[in-house]
Amino acid sequence: MEIENKILQHKKRAFLEAYAYTGNITKAAEIADMPRQNHYDWMKFDPDYPAAFKNADEAASERLETEARRRAVEGTSKPVFYQGAVCGAIQEYSDNLLMFLLKGSKPQKYRENVTMDVGNKDNKPFDIRTTPTEELIQAEAEKIAKMFGISVDKAIEKLKREYEGI
């Protein structure tokens, strides 16, 4: 039983190390020479395994980020050919990766900002999330009638005209 436990712990360690390197469950299972289902079973039944897997997952993510940063900042060397022969090299950088890194590290500054100003024909703002029901119109009309000293019917009429102009 103790030998089986040591083998099991060795498999878990091998899988987690492979996952930290590859970031892929199937590939890590192949490297550790085990069925990938073991990982899912360990996630369910081994109380210590999820935390260990989270650490391996963070290591895999950091590895990806390191590579993205390298390609964005240091670039990659691409050979230049002339008449079929290599005659030099150019350094290529990834602007897309750089933008993703910036958005991730400073989202308040580099995130996509979209602002929409939506209004009716008179450019008055309105809430597009809901279409008012008769009950809401009635309640709003009662407030307006009381505030401006007009009849509820007149307030309803004004509200409906405004909603139609949307």
Q: What is the pTM of this model?
A: 0.59
What's the structural domain count of the chain?
A: 3
User: Are residues 32 and 57 both part of a single domain?
Assistant: yes
User: Are residues 95 and 78 both part of a single domain?
Assistant: yes
CA distance 99 to 104: 8
pLDDT digits (tens, 9 = 90+) for 76-115: 999 999 999 999 999 999 999 999 888 888 888 887 776 6
User: Are residues 20 and 50 both part of a single domain?
Assistant: yes
pLDDT digits (tens, 9 = 90+) for 37-68: 999 999 999 999 999 999 999 999 999 999 99
User: Are residues 60 and 37 both part of a single domain?
Assistant: yes
For strand 85-92 and strand 76-82, is the pairing parallel, antiparallel, or unpaired?
A: antiparallel
Tell whether the model's pLDDT for residue 119 goes beyond 60: no
User: Are residues 127 and 82 both part of a single domain?
Assistant: no
Domain, as residue range, for 35: 2-64
User: Are residues 57 and 80 both part of a single domain?
Assistant: no
User: Are residues 50 and 34 both part of a single domain?
Assistant: yes
Please name the residue ranges forming H helices in 37-151: 37-45, 49-69, 95-105, 107-110, 134-148
CA distance 11 to 29: 9
The alpha carbon dihedral of 98, 102, 103, 104 has a sign of positive
